Amino acid sequence: EAGGTVLAGHEGKEESGGQMGHNRTRHNNTNKNSLRNATIQAMSNLLSANIDSGLMHSIGLGYHKDLQTRAAFMEVLTKILQQGTEFDTLAETVLADRFEQLVQLVTMIGDKGELPIAIALSNVVTSNQMDELARVFVTLFDAKHLLSPLLWNMFYREVEVSDCMQTLFRGNSLGSKIMAFCFKIYGATFLQGLLEPLIQEMIDNADGVSFEVDPARMESAEVLEENQQNLAQITQRVFNAIVSSADRFPPQLRSMCHCLYQVLCKRFPQSIQNNIGAVGTVLFLRFINPAIVSPYEMGIVE
C-alpha cells in the first residue's frame, strides 16, 4: 500500500509536469508569434518612414535563402502598400504623387537590369491573379518607357527553366500572360485589318465553296479533291497576306519579338536559326492562329 501510494504520487507529479511543459511550449509559441508580428510591424514602420533608403538596405531579404525570411519580407512589403506609404512629406495629401511613387517602386530597375519588386510580386501572386498582374505590369512599364526591360526579365525567366524551345510559352506562366496581353492591346487593330477581308469573304461565300477535307464530315454532293484545292488556295492567300503585311506589323510587337529572339540566343547560343523559328512559332501559335480559329471571339468579324 505504501509503495502504491508512492507510485501514485510519482505518476501524479509526472502528469502535472507534462501539463506544465505543454503550457510552457504553448506560451513560448505565442510569444514567438507575437515577436514575429511585432518585428514585421516595426520593419514596416521603418521602411514607411524612408522608403528609398529602407528598400535599398532590405531588398536582399526578398532573395534570402531562408523561405521564412523571404515570406516575412513580402509581408512587410504588403503592409507598406496597404497602408499607403508616405513616400515624402511634401506629398502626404496628394494621392497622385503617392501613386507615382508606388509606380516608381514597382518599376524600379537594379544595377544589373533586374526588376526586384516586379519579380518578387510575380513569385507570390496566385495563378488566378496572373492575368491582372500582367495587365498592370504592361500598363505601368509601358507608361514609363520600360517595356523592354520587363519583357526581357519575364521572357528570360520563362526560357531559363525550359529544356527545349518547343515548350516555350505553352503554359499559364506570367511570361505567357504578358505576351498574350501585349498581342491583345498592340496587335488587335493590325490583326483585324489583316484577316477580316479574307474571313468575311469565306463567310459570304459559304454556300458555294466548301473547305471540308474530312470525308466523314463532307456532304454527299461534295468532291474531296475540289475541297482540298479550295483549302490550299485560301491557305496560300492567308499566308501571302501575312507575309506581305510585315511593314505594317506594330512596332511594340516588333520590339517584343526582338526581345524574345535576344533571350533565346542567350539561352541557346548554338541554335541561331532555330531561335528565329521559335519566334515565328510563338507569333503564329499565340497571335495569328487564335484569330483564325475563333474570329468571332477575337473580334475579327462581327
How far apart are the C-alpha atoms of 162 and 158, rounded to whole Å? 7
CA distance 256 to 260: 6
User: pLDDT tens, position by position, for the chain (302 residues)?
Assistant: 555 554 445 555 555 555 565 566 666 667 777 887 787 777 777 776 666 667 676 777 777 788 888 888 788 777 777 665 554 444 455 567 777 788 888 888 888 888 888 888 888 888 888 899 999 999 999 999 999 999 999 988 888 877 666 667 777 788 889 999 999 999 999 999 999 999 888 888 777 788 888 888 888 888 889 989 989 999 999 999 999 999 999 999 999 999 999 988 888 888 788 888 888 888 988 899 999 988 888 888 88
How far apart are alpha carbons 73 and 67 in whole angstroms?
10
Distance in angstroms (rounded) separating the CA atoms of residues 39 and 43: 6
Q: How far apart are CA 57 and CA 55, in angstroms?
A: 5
Contact 63, 113 (CB under 8 A): no
pLDDT at 229: 92
Rounded distance between C-alpha atoms, residue 280 and residue 180, angstroms: 15
User: How far is the C-alpha of 286 from the C-alpha of 289, rounded, in Å?
Assistant: 7
Predicted pLDDT of residue 82: 66
End-to-end Cα spacing for the chain: 97
Cell numbers describing residue 113: 537590369
SS (H, E, C) 16-28: HHHHHHHHHHHHH
| SS3 assignment, position 1 | coil
Specify the residue for cell string 497602408: 83
**What's the Rg (C-alpha) of the chain?**
30
Q: What is the pLDDT of residue 103?
A: 84
